[in-house]
Amino acid sequence: MDQRLDQRREPALNVPPVVVMLLAVLAFIHAVRVWLLSDDMDRVLVWSLAFVPARYDASALTDGILPGSPGAEIWSFFTYALLHADWMHFGFNAIWLLAFASPLARRFRAARFLLFVAATVAAGALAYLVVHAGALAPMIGASAGISGMMGAMARFAFEPGGSLDLWRRDREHADHIPAAPLFAALRNPRVITFVGVWFGLNLLFGLGSVSIFVGEHQSVAWEAHAGGFLAGLLLFSLFDPVPPRPPSVDDGPSIRRG
């Protein structure tokens, strides 16, 4: 009877404080832009914090034109994720952030989680820079970091008892189960399906557009999403405090008989 009462008292939304803080910061920044800054001030802020590939192209002659240079060449690898095009853009990212950041923050704890987000955000910017070298259009949004969280979740959420193991999930320990080795995870049919569907949907949505300024549009930066996702998938072990699952016989290479 006591056990049932404890289960009833369990909060429906167990969101770690660091995730709440991150959402609050993103919402505050966008609210300040919308309600307090003039259009001219907002443009200066966006061009100072957004990621602009043209900053790194000497032939683009952007010195003195783009606000924030040369410091923005460094900080914009991270600060672009603090900005959103509109409330719909923020709301969409906030929903996905709640879904994927919460399990990861419970697993990593606050400091590791924030470092992980910074790394995947920077990886998204780097991927965008490689594909769009010299482009003047600014990139904004937290999607690369959220994509990194999705890539990291693929490393442990599909394991037996993990967050996405609907049949054998242990709610209390689902976010702390040992992760599979990388190559073992990539042989898991559920992980392969998840990765394939993720890339397919991003390519599909990449054909759309998202508004940054009134009357102006920028294509969805699916390349940044891909960079963040791959960084989360590949760099997960560097941040994971949970000892990895020991390789099993099934994880090894198949034996060929002559």
What ranges do the domains of the chain cover?
14-247
Fold type of domain 14-247: Rhomboid-like fold (1.20.1540)
Q: What is the pLDDT of residue 51?
A: 96
Look at residue 208 in the predicted model and tell me its pLDDT.
Answer: 53
pLDDT of the chain, 258 residues: tens digit per residue:
444 444 444 444 689 999 999 999 999 999 999 999 999 999 999 999 999 999 988 776 565 678 877 889 999 999 999 999 999 999 999 999 999 999 999 999 999 999 999 999 999 999 999 999 989 889 999 999 999 999 999 999 988 877 776 655 556 678 888 998 999 999 999 999 999 999 988 888 776 544 343 334 557 889 999 999 999 999 999 999 998 877 664 554 443 333
What are the φ and ψ backbone dihedral angles of 139, each rounded to 5 degrees? -110, 135
Residue positions counted in the chain: 258
Per-residue model confidence (pLDDT) at position 17: 97
pLDDT of residue 23: 97
Supply 18's token pair.
Answer: 């660091």
Q: What is the DSSP letter of 216?
A: -
Read off the tokens for 16: 């770690």
Asked whether 63 and 120 are in contact (CB, 8 A), the reply is no
How confident is the model at residue 151, as a pLDDT? 97
Task: Pick the closest to residue 85 from 224, 214, 207, 222 (CA basis).
Answer: 214
Strand partners, 139: 51
CA distance 241 to 13: 24
What is the predicted pLDDT for the residue at 196?
94
CB 172 within 8 A of CB 197: no
